[in-house]
Chains A and B, each alone.
Chain A
Amino acid sequence: MIDLLSKLCSLNGTSGAERDVRDYICSKIKSAQNSDGDCEIKTDNLGNLIVFKKGKKRAKNKIMLCAHMDEVGFIVDYITSDGLVKIKNIGGINPAAIIGRRLMFGSVAGVVGAKPIHKLKSDEKEKQPGIDELFVDIGVSFREETVEHISLGDNGYFIGEFCEMGDNLVMAKAIDDRLGCAILIEMLSKTQEYDAHYVFTTAEEVGTRGASAAAFAVKPDMAIVLEATTAADIPGVKDGDIVCKLGEGPVVSYMDSGAIYDKELYDTAFFTARENGIKCQTKTKIAGGNDSGVIHKTLSGIRVVALSAPCRYLHTANCVINKSDLKEMLSLAEKLFEKMAIL
């Protein structure tokens, strides 16, 4: 599954531009499915990839599992007469994580410049430049040269090659939420007990737009959202502000800034984890949000539970997760799905 995650993270797909990710996932599912073709695959108007996979048995509750395909990124909104590119962020990105980085616009590389430290006045040293003060430099001198390679509206991406780090950790861009996609692909490649819909959503990072259409179309009784969530288990952060810790298993949330989760499903998740010796934890702060927020308010309400892998430095070029959390999250997703199908 690590190789799969690595490949998924290497693809570029910010909100509204998930095609490469979707095509790859689609090809993965097609090559993994049984010869009798137990998967029905379709792409909807918003670009969501909706897969129905038959299980051994019919489920009592219609289940939708979902993960989002998009990642945070950038969009070109102006090119200066000097050929420098002005960008806006797609999804929440702290400007401190943008300055001095390499970005890719298609096959064109650029760097986000910074005024030399030698020339900073003392108040400038303490101030973090906002994204409106940043420029991307692709190595040319004039607008006419830039427009040969880059157009307004083009998307830009972090460069954050997948790499192993420390004791069982991995680091890459776009782990949020390619890890959720990897878990769904993994589940789709095995024979499952029950029928289910596996949905790869679009535009989560700009307001969970894809999930609303997908939930409306699938009309599930219950949904499991697979995500990455912020972990602040780093020095200088205390108590509840840590939110969750790497290596302690997936996070099952009771509430975040977008959703209040179904209490019975929340309890079932913990019970299932205990029963199967799977590590899991909950969030110690009501923060963040994901597709659950919109899903649980769709139709006449959908019961929803979210499993999230703890991830440090979320929404930067270098997200860090623990491989064991990913494994535990896959196990819990499979077991919980089987429980929820007949709850």
Chain B
Amino acid sequence: MKYIYDVLEGLCGAVGVPGVAGCSDAACVALELLRKYIPDAQQDKFGNVYGIIKGGNKLSAALSDEQETFPKLPTLLLDAHIDEVGMIVTFIDDKGFIKAGLCGGVDPRILSAQRVTVWGKKPINGVVCSLPPHLVKDEKKALKKEDIIIDVGLSKEQLAEFVSLGDRITVDGEFTRLKKARLTSRALDNRAGVAAILYALELMQGRELKYDLAVLFSSLEEVGGRGARIGAYRLKPDFAVVVDVSYGDCPELLVHESGRMGDGVMIGISPYLDREIFENFKILAKTHDVKHQIEVMSRSTGTNADEITVSRCGVRGGLLSIPLRNMHTPAELVDIEDIEATGRLLCEFCCDKWGV
């Protein structure tokens, strides 16, 4: 629990709106954390963080004295996206107000009077403009995504020094502990998934892997699975397990549309996913007493699994999801126990002989 909490706090403290030039802070933090398990993990030019752990028993050193040699194992890719939803500076008016476009699916209904940070040459505090009551004609009308304006209290000239068109904006949502094992923060979609994979790696220490394990913390998911597509091409997996978040239960959703918070990892099945992997996850969860629930999708999964499974000549894919409430708002909410269950199941899958 403490491991996951600490990792998440570090990951959520960093920002990773899609397409920030060079490496985003969140990717850098993830890379540092990954290097504990894969010292030569690296980052590509698209912001993907990746690394490979050779599985199996080491062969005896008979072939070469210097070089360790491993048997060839199938490659299993573990993917979780590292980016988060945000906004992008599209225009600055004469008085220094910033017009913002969406960069990923932020919900405009939650934006009025929200505190934001503009990631220019330095972080700049701001607030989303909202009309005062005397000018609100209809309280039932939501803010439109075309009408998002950010007030940072600087003139156009002052802004020019720090902010350029294309800079990214995040809605502030501090990492806050709630009751039980729950916490809230912005960007838990999908830092929760990244934390689950890191936790799985932690649990694998000292155990024998049945695969060559490729780990990918992919960029650009919130704008269409772009990082995963590039990453999967590079890593050439045979199998892939994507870890993402899914809808947690709330009054506005039907029971079958959501996973119950605290009821464990959601094992996904959809026409896009591999049924044997799905069945194997269920068996492993039962065998190892991991709290789990089933998530059924009738078409696309809305995750990187959609992209990865059609990489090169096809990859057999599984999907594990962590229930999360208030998706794409700064009040995203998860239960650490669900992340823990996800990490445990993932670890057992990597150490299980299925598929090898």
Contacts and interface: CB of A to CB of B under 8 A. Distances in A.
B135 A166 contact: no
B125 A163 contact: yes
Interface string B89-123: 00001010100000001111110111100000000
A129 B109 contact: yes
Contacts of B158: 166-167
Interface string B154-194: 11001000000000000001101111101110000000000
B143 to A, nearest CB: 7
B178 A243 contact: no
Interface stretch (A20-28, A92-100, A334-342): A92-100
B331 interface: yes
Interface in A71-124: 80, 82, 84, 92, 94-97, 99-102, 108-120
Interface of B: 93, 95, 97, 105-110, 112-115, 124-127, 129-136, 139-144, 147, 149, 151-155, 158, 173-174, 176-180, 182-184, 247, 249-253, 257, 261-262, 302, 325-331, 333, 335
B114 A318 contact: yes
Interface of A: 80, 82, 84, 92, 94-97, 99-102, 108-120, 125-130, 135, 137-141, 145, 149, 160, 163-169, 171, 230-232, 234-237, 241, 243, 285, 287-288, 312-318, 320
Most B Cβ at <10 Å: residue of A120, A139, A167:
A139
A137 B112 contact: no
A interface, over-half SS: loop
A115 B253 CA distance: 7
A234 to B, nearest CB: 5
B311 to A, nearest CB: 24
Given A116-B247, A237-B131, A165 B176 contact: no
Given A100-B331, A114-B329, A234-B149, A318 B127 contact: yes
A116 B136 contact: no
Contact of B127 (A94, A111, A129, A320): A320
B1 to A, nearest CB: 14
Contact of B134 (A114, A145, A165, A285): A285
B152 A232 contact: no
Instruction: Report the 4 A-B pairs with minimum CB-CB distance, sorted nearest first.
Output: A166-B153, A139-B178, A100-B110, A139-B182
Contacts of A149: 179
Contacts of B331: 100-102, 111-114
A58 B121 CA distance: 57
Nearest to A168: B153
A125 B109 contact: yes
A246 to B, nearest CB: 8
B140 A92 contact: no
